[in-house]
DNA sequence: TTAATCAGTCAATAAGGCTGACGTAAACCG
DNA sequence: CGGTTTACGTCAGCCTTATTGACTGATTAA
């Protein structure tokens, strides 16, 4: 399952060239054209970024929904179904179908909550952990290369912009989850 | 609502000691935890980013597929169907369904190629251009705010990392399309 | 005891991908 | 010229992931 590479027949656009950081050029920096470039860069980078695990998933008959569930169960071991629902922002019917498969396939275990027995706490089995690793490995490798080629300052900027792109009213929660200090 | 921290004190980008970007610090910078934070930041930022136009689209009974088609027709006026197919990386059946709707609804016009009469050149009508603007406006506004809050250097880093995340064998084509100078 | 919450399920619907098979017009080429 | 390839369009069928709405069962909270 992969997307075609390359865009044949497209000649270069009017390049804008180097990086700008002088005071007077700050305004110029935010032209519609600059913003549009950002939009497209995001589109293509994210597309390639998500194509990595898709191949792994396809082999096992899973989709991105499974990936997301596995990722956040790995990230927050013992998370409840409602908690996962909250993070993923999908309906419980959608999540449930995915979860059921993963439980049946022995990748996730559900344990009844001790304090609140209505809850089901989710955890990865060793097999689930293994799949998680094989899903995230290519993404981590892609990021590792991009980060190391771009350099630490670029990475700091990358994160800073991404953080500011998140909805105001969800940012702190996300940053806590991610493990960054909310401002 | 709060748990493990990331690696503390890593806010400024280059680690504890100022602007150094020595080899040893670069390695420290790229722990699995750091990479995982990057993965999640991307996930959440992109999710919010794409949620903007979704509301606009839903009103008109369109989906993201329509958005992508409109975006790239706007970007490359007169693009052929095959060219669009290449950029989007979908099958022609998928694209065609979307394109047919947009043509029927008067947002896109197809004109037979003059040099090659097999080709159909795609262009936005004024109505189509209007929709494109209302789709991209919230995204541009989100980016504009994020960029201006993060500052020019952060933006430069943001773009640098995104560029390096794109597949090697598609990067130059993408950067040409986007309007950046391929390195 | 009653109400609210958490989890799970059934059913129907939709968007948007996919493959495969065809058809037509036009261009390319030996 | 005639055969092959290209560009576009379309029919039919399938799959995954998402939606809404209605409902059950267990458990907790008021």
Q: Based on C-alpha coordinates, what's the Rg of chain A?
A: 20
User: Which pLDDT does position A180 carry in this prediction?
Assistant: 62
Complete edge-to-edge strand list for the sheet that includes strand A79-80: A79-80, A120-124, A108-112
Higher pLDDT, A98 or B61: A98
Instruction: Report the residue from A21, A165, A177 with minimal CB separation from B146.
Output: A165
**Residue A87 pLDDT more than 50?**
yes
Residues in chain B: 183
Higher pLDDT, B97 or B5: B97
Per residue in A110-154, pLDDT (tens digit) is 999 999 999 999 999 999 999 999 999 999 999 999 999 999 999
Per residue in A36-83, pLDDT (tens digit) is 999 999 988 988 888 888 888 888 888 888 999 999 999 999 999 999
Per residue in A4-20, pLDDT (tens digit) is 333 332 323 333 334 44
Which bases along strand C come within 7 Å of a protein CB atom?
Answer: 5-12, 15-21, 25-28
User: Which pLDDT does position B111 carry in this prediction?
Assistant: 97
Per-residue pLDDT, averaged over B53-79, amounts to 92
User: Which pLDDT does position A2 carry in this prediction?
Assistant: 27
- pLDDT band at residue B183, thresholds of 50, 70 and 90? low
Per-residue pLDDT, averaged over B37-44, amounts to 90
Angle at A13 between CA A7 and CA A18, to 5 degrees: 115
A117 touches strand D (CB under 7 A): yes
Report the distance separating Cα B46 and Cα A140, nearest Å. 17
Q: Element (H or E) spanning A123, and its range?
A: strand A120-124
Whose CA is closest to A41, among B37, B129, B157?
B157
User: Which pLDDT does position B29 carry in this prediction?
Assistant: 57
Instruction: Report the residue from B30, B146, B173 with minimal CB separation from A144.
Output: B30
On chain A, the residues whose CB falls within 8 A of the CB of B91 are none
Chain B from 87 to 126: CB within 8 A of any A CB? 87, 89
Per residue in B108-154, pLDDT (tens digit) is 999 999 999 999 999 999 999 999 999 999 999 999 999 999 999 99
**Closest chain B C-alpha to A109 CA, distance in angstroms:** 22
Higher pLDDT, B156 or A22: B156
- pLDDT band at residue B182, thresholds of 50, 70 and 90? low
């Amino acid at each position: 399952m992969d997307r075609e590479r390359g865009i044949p027949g497209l000649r270069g656009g009017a390049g804008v060239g180097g990086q700008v950081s002088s005071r007077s050029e700050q305004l110029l920096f935010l032209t519609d054209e600059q913003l549009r470039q950002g939009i497209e860069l995001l589109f293509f980078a994210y597309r390639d970024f998500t194509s990595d695990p898709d191949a792994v998933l396809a082999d096992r008959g899973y989709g991105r929904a499974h990936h997301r569930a596995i990722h956040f169960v790995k990230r927050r071991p013992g998370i409840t179904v409602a908690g996962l629902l909250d993070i993923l922002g999908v309906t419980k019917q959608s999540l449930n179908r995915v979860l059921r498969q993963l439980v049946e396939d022995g990748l996730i275990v559900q344990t009844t909550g001790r304090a609140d027995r209505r809850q089901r706490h989710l955890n990865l089995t060793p097999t689930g952990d293994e799949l998680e690793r094989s899903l995230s490995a290519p993404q981590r490798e892609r990021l590792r290369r991009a980060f190391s080629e771009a350099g630490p300052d670029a990475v700091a900027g990358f994160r800073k912009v991404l953080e500011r792109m998140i909805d105001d009213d969800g940012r702190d929660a996300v940053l806590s989850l991610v493990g960054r200090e909310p401002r």
